[in-house]
Structure 1
Amino acid sequence: MKDYVLRLKNISVSDTSEVGAKNAFLGEIFTQPVLHEIRVPDGFAVTASAYQRFIEYNKLDGVHDKLLTSLDRENLSDVAKTGQKARALILGARMPGDIDDTITAAYHELCAGSAVEVAVRSSAISSNQINSDIKDVHDSFLNVKGERELVETVKKCFASLYSEKAIIENTSNLNKSIAVCVQKMVRSDGSCSGVAYTSDPESGFADVIHISGVWGLGGKKLNEGVIPDEFIIYKPTISEGLKSIIQKKLGSKNRMMIYQEDSDIHVVNTPDDIRDQFVLIEEELLSIANWGITLENYYGSPVSMEWAKDGESEDLYLLQAKPENFKKFKKSL
């Protein structure tokens, strides 16, 4: 019998067909000693086998295929209606008891005795087992707490296989499965978060690392008018212990995303006392840069990353990492 849940510490890229690229890249950090210096939140993956079992249990085999057969992807109204119907079928279905029990047990193990908040992110399964170019068109959820809320949120991730963006992107209907990543929350609402690239994201120049960040949570809800801090680090001098941060640009960061008492995400004005401060100090910038270099050397490819700093522990974490290609990656799959 295939596993419905796999701990991240037991996953590698050889498991991509079961857990999706997002989970696989995170698991590789746990399982490969050369990557152990990188700090990643603990968690587990709900596998593609769990999704398939869910579909079979609810007798939804082929139902979504029929919905998509006559779809006109250039007609946005048609895409919206079809997507809504497809998602409703999943959201209205019941999670099989064996999967429910397995997710609940994994959550309790992760909590170690007390309920904790988790991030729940979809991890796409591509027809090409390792596809670093796959677009992130499925849903993610933050600050999920408690076993019942978690199981329902996993269903929401399942349903996002048929988000409007996913339907438009998946023109061949080949991607018919999805996995889910569940990780302990990094409370960056009390600190900062951002992204990093091990080559310049615009020019592709390979000798620099580009890091950007904002106060609070990162994500699509933060309006586009928020300008992040930006940092450029020169890679060749890092290992020599020389001054490597060659540019620091202070962003406006006038808005930030936080949790409020209702545990929902809210966009608020950034307090005046931190708006004009850089989100990271030099030591933290170099930590992220070194993580990027380690991953780039391992995969033989430029890497994009998402990072966050916990406002309670003040620890930095890597949330996601994606190599741009695998041409030089020699690992046997």
Structure 2
Amino acid sequence: MHVVWDIAVILQTYIICTSSAQPITSKLDDGWWAYKDVVQGSFVPVPSFWGLVNSAWNLCAIGKRQSPIDIETSHMIFDPYLTPLRLNTGGHKMGGTMYNTGKHVSLRPDKAHLVNISGGPLGYSYRLEEVRVHFGSEDSQGSEHLLNGQGFPGEVQLIHYNQDLYANYSEAAKSPHGIAVVSIFIKHHTVAGDWPAVGGTAQKVSAWAMRQPSNYDAFLLMGLNIADLYPDTTRYITYEGSITIPPCYETSTWILINKPVYVTQMQMHSLRLLSQNEPYKIFLSMSDNTRPTQPLLQRCIRTNINFSKQGRDCPNNRALRPQYRVNQWLLK
């Protein structure tokens, strides 16, 4: 399954037609923190202050397994036991609610038809809770994770919680093995002739975004094929880290897919016109809604992408640290 149009769809329904969408009143993600300085006449903590202003957020400052990270490909460990992820949607379409939270473009699926992932580095079954989009004001930034110091225009994060051990996301987020995040880099589509037909879920999402909804706007979307949002889940990079918003709990398994999602320049421009403020306040673009990268420290970055050169042992006793030959789409 290609992800080329999948997020073209998630990004574009946050931008087009609302003829089938029903407005909802909701204040989602209304936390006292920000990604960047805001003009509000009062102090709102940016990432460098998250761990200092609230004792419940102290992991943001002192944690040893924080996310995101800069993925240095020379530090990767080849793990032949990493199997492909398994996706279970039950074969059903579903509804969901798109939000402008003031911090993210966010899609929350309904609870009628559940989406689960398992396999790969996961020892349990995880249920999809939210799809969150990060993006930048320039093409060289916007992804939370970096690859050899290089950023991308954006990053889509499919956030899941451990349904085998925990009753809901809130409980799982602060508990061991609680969260699994499937992460996909966003790239611009520039090559003519290789863009698959756009439709389904991606079209609805990017349509919503083109409306440029203001802070806390929310719309109900029906007939979503959530499976379209997941790329080929065969090859990936994985490490143990944290949630990237306060309180920065270190309970997340990150799975970065070795295939991007493509968007057009127009779709990216529409995202950059989304405001983090209510309509009656000064316009502040939601772009650059990313936490800076955090130290890797003693953690391992594992991958099931094949390599040929052996290296020294990893602290978790994995045998190989091969030379990583970077997937070419990421660096072109």
TM-score (norm 1): 0.23
TM-score (norm 2): 0.23
Which is greater in Rg? 1
Larger RCO, structure (CA 8 Å, separation 6 or more): 2
